[in-house]
Amino acid sequence: MLNIGKISSIIEKQGQSIFGQTNLLSNEEISDYTLEFLELFVLLVQKGDKPDHRSPEFKALRKFFGNASHQIQLRGGTLDEFVRYVQFLQRVFLENLESDSSATFEQTREILLLLATMFNDIVLDVFHSYLEEKERTITAQQEELRQTSTPITEIWDGVLTLPVIGTLDSSRTLVVMESLLSRIEADRAKVVVIDVTGVLAIDSQVSHHLIQMIRAIGLMGAEAILTGIRPEIARALTNLNIDLGDVITRSSLSEGLKEAFRRLNIEAVNKPRPVPAS
């Protein structure tokens, strides 16, 4: 009923057209995938029962497509390409069925049902796999952004700087606080200069997180100096009636560093250039 040989060459040719030309899969891989797919499909059809999502043959076929789509995604393939290919596979089987006059009405109906169920499930699986991969990428990128957007740097013995860029939500505050407090302990830091020049907007939640961070620094025995409060941030803080209390603030990072040095009894002086001997 199914002319596997003919179908195999049609599928392989289309695979080369979609994936081979863009170098997503090599010709050998396309050939292997075609063979494996047809073997799994034949196993499923030969089972003879009505389509059952729980059957090992069905699961094996879905897993095959899941793995294939994952590999293509990793190599930069698009979802469109893969779904078009799956739809093409379905069309090939339907056309083959149409051209076969030996099948009874019952057999045709059963195969149509099988194909519809199978390919619908496969397309859904491919979508899920695509979304999961995208979410994984986004999560990894968010984590990297979180790490790089709040670097803690020791700029002098006992002086750490923490430039805050973007917004400061609860989860970010917790991550930053954990790193910062460990650094204070490890570096025996006495002063931490937190620069908020890069903070886009401040609301009661952001200021609450900042105050928590400053409080934690104080509990460790270090001093926090808050710098870079822009006029719009200062206005927002006053509008929100937020009292920074005893928090030391300075207008800029350089002023903050001068204050840090002052507290550590460190003085930076301009040393005159040595006059070269004539």
Partner 1 sequence: MVDGMHLTPIGSRTVLLEPRDGMDPGDPEAYAEPLLQYLQRNQARRLIYDLKNVPVIDELYYAWLVRVSALCQIAGIDLVTANMRPAAAYALALMLTAPPPFTCALDVDSARGVARR
User: Given the rule CB under 8 A, which residues bind partner 1?
Assistant: 177-178, 181-182, 184-185, 188-190, 212-213, 215-216, 218-222, 245-246
User: In degrees, to the nearest 5, what angle opens at C-alpha 62 toward C-alphas 116 and 31?
Assistant: 100
Residues in the chain: 278
How near is the Cβ of 218 to partner 1 at its closest, in Å? Answer: 6
How near is the Cβ of 221 to partner 1 at its closest, in Å? Answer: 4
Closer residue to partner 1 (CB): 47 or 190: 190
How near is the Cβ of 247 to partner 1 at its closest, in Å? Answer: 10
Closer residue to partner 1 (CB): 38 or 210: 210
User: In degrees, to the nearest 5, what angle opens at C-alpha 142 toward C-alphas 140 and 143?
Assistant: 65
Residue 28: exposure state from Cβ atoms within 10 A (0-12, 13-18, ≥19): exposed
How near is the Cβ of 184 to partner 1 at its closest, in Å? Answer: 7
Closer residue to partner 1 (CB): 224 or 233: 224
CA dist list (Å): 121 to 38, 116, 188: 17, 8, 58
Q: Is 200:167 a contact under the CB 8 Å cutoff?
A: yes
Local structure of 166: helix, strand or coil:
strand
How near is the Cβ of 213 to partner 1 at its closest, in Å? Answer: 7
Closer residue to partner 1 (CB): 45 or 168: 168
Q: Return all residues near 176 (Cβ < 8 A) that are at least 6 apart.
A: 150, 162, 164, 168, 213
How near is the Cβ of 180 to partner 1 at its closest, in Å? Answer: 9
CA dist list (Å): 217 to 14, 17, 102, 182, 276: 63, 61, 82, 10, 47
How near is the Cβ of 188 to partner 1 at its closest, in Å? Answer: 6
Give dist(CA 216, CA 221) in Å, integer. Answer: 9
Closer residue to partner 1 (CB): 47 or 208: 208
Local structure of 234: helix, strand or coil:
helix
Give dist(CA 220, CA 217) in Å, integer. Answer: 5
Closer residue to partner 1 (CB): 28 or 246: 246
Closer residue to partner 1 (CB): 189 or 202: 189
